[in-house]
Amino acid sequence: MTQADPLQIKAPAYLSRAEKASFRTLSAQLRQGSVTASPGFADILADYVAVRSRIGYLGAARARLIREKPTFTADKARIITLGREINAATALSLKLADKLGINA
């Protein structure tokens, strides 16, 4: 089995333009750091990039709700839910970073 070159791996089509750019940048940085690409390298890296993007989106959504000074219980519950989603996505991101050999 040969090792895949991270620079020659194309970003998956489902990633957004910004996520694809991040995928290529991280792939190049990992190659410079002499990380060997395992067979599932592209999938793990794509998941990592998507999760990091989700964390940014959730954080922005939570900040927007907080800025609006919620008065209803449903709004406050949504803020708490977003916080839990951010925590879960961060935990997943750390697991994926560990698999990639990234010191997150």
- What pTM was estimated for this model as a whole? 0.77
Residue (of 7, 83, 91) closest to 45 by Cα position: 7
For 3-44, write each residue's pLDDT tens digit.
Answer: 555 446 788 888 999 999 998 888 887 777 766 666 688 888
Q: How far is CA 12 from the centre of its chain?
A: 14
Rounded Cα distance between 39 and 5, Å, is: 10
The domain spans of the chain are: 6-100
Considering only CA atoms, give the Rg of the chain. Answer: 17
Residue partners of 35: CB distance under 8 A and separation at least 6: 6, 100, 101
**Average model confidence (pLDDT) across the chain:** 84
Q: For the chain, give the percent of residues with pLDDT over 70.
A: 85
Residue 91, pLDDT > 50, answer yes
